[in-house]
């Protein structure tokens, strides 16, 4: 990993009331990378993204972005610094048009010429949104709404995009389509990404580096290819079983049937 770290998190803790949701998390994202965070429901992945983007406060530890400490700053300040959060569940404005939703992403910007150029760029990646620009956003399909949420985030000109479960509730075909677009945005527009996903297979195929969260902490981290090859990852996240594991499972089933 030769490039500089654009995001560096050290010993981060955050709470929901009295419950510690993330504990001692340290990680980094380097310029130009796609980094994924894997883990089961309740592992702390969404809480981590919310703490980075200022939606939740950190109780302990630091979040440093481009050399500046940003933990416990206001979300709007963090957006202006260059971090955009595309949340789980899309959170579009259903009564507004597709075009209005996209343009809302540029609310912190003032240069109309640059905004216009970026609108054109966004619609080249998501042509279906250009076709449906005047349509109410709430009438889009789930996959189109996810595309809209990403397009809106791009309009803020992010240096770092936080993506929370972009595959959630989508068909495998749509997941593949969206992840191809994310890969293109990373390669062509140089958007650095921190991606939270339960779909480990597709996330690792896209990412350069990965972290695995369990019970609010980092349980494992490595190059994405090494994680794909890890027996633990294959067993717990990719659904790959060894011959011994398959045999043990069949024996357990036979005992149950008796």
Domain-located, residue 127:
no
Domain-located, residue 90:
no
Give the least confident one: 126-130, 146-150, 197-201, 250-254: 250-254
Please say if the pLDDT value at position 171 is more than 80: yes
Domain-located, residue 197:
yes
Domain ranges, residue 228:
1-82+158-168+190-258
Domain-located, residue 19:
yes
Contact 44, 22 (CB under 8 A): yes
Distance CA 246, CA 253 (A): 11
Distance CA 84, CA 223 (A): 24
Q: What's the average model confidence in pLDDT over 126-151?
A: 95
Q: Strand, helix or coil at 74?
A: coil
Domain-located, residue 128:
no
Show Cβ contacts of residue 148 under 8 Å, excluding neighbours closer than 6 positions: 90, 92, 98, 101, 102, 126, 129, 137, 140
- 194-252 pLDDT tens trace: 999 988 999 999 999 999 999 999 999 999 999 999 988 888 877 654 444 444 444 44
Domain-located, residue 23:
yes
Count of domains for the chain: 1
pTM of the model: 0.88
Question: DSSP label at 3?
Answer: S
Each residue of 221-248: b (16+ CB within 10 Å) or e?
beebeebbebeebbeebbeeeeeeeeee
Under the banding of pLDDT at 50, 70 and 90, the label for residue 100 is very high
Query: Rounded to whole angstroms, what are the CA distances from 175 to 40, 97, 121, 248?
Result: 19, 24, 21, 33
The four Cα atoms 5, 7, 10, 16 give a dihedral, to 10 degrees, of -160
Domain-located, residue 12:
yes
Q: Which residue has the higher pLDDT, 255 or 191?
A: 191
Which CATH number covers residue 77? 3.40.50.300
Domain-located, residue 255:
yes
């Amino acid at each position: 990993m030769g490039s500089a770290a654009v995001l560096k998190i050290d010993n981060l803790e955050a709470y929901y009331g009295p419950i510690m949701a993330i504990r001692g998390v340290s990680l980094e994202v380097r310029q130009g990378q796609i980094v994924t965070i894997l883990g089961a429901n309740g592992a702390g992945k969404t809480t981590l993204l919310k703490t980075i983007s200022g939606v939740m406060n950190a109780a302990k530890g630091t979040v440093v972005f481009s050399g500046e400490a940003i933990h416990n700053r206001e979300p709007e300040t963090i957006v202006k610094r260059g971090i955009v959060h595309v949340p789980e569940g899309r959170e579009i404005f259903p009564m507004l048009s597709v075009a209005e939703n996209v343009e809302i992403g540029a609310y912190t910007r003032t240069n109309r010429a640059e905004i216009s150029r970026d609108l054109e760029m966004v619609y080249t990646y998501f042509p279906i949104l250009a076709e449906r620009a005047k349509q109410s956003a709430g009438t889009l399909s789930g996959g189109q709404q996810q595309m809209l949420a990403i397009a809106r985030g791009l309009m803020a000109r992010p240096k770092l995009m936080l993506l929370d479960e972009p595959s959630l509730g989508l068909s495998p075909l749509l997941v593949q389509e969206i992840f191809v677009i994310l890969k293109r945005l990373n390669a062509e527009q140089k958007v650095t990404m921190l991606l939270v996903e339960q779909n480990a297979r597709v996330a690792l195929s896209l990412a350069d580096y990965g972290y695995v969260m369990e019970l609010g902490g980092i349980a494992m981290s490595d190059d994405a290819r090494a994680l794909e090859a890890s027996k633990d990852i294959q067993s717990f996240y990719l659904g790959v079983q060894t011959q011994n594991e398959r045999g043990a499972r069949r024996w357990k089933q036979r005992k149950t049937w008796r």
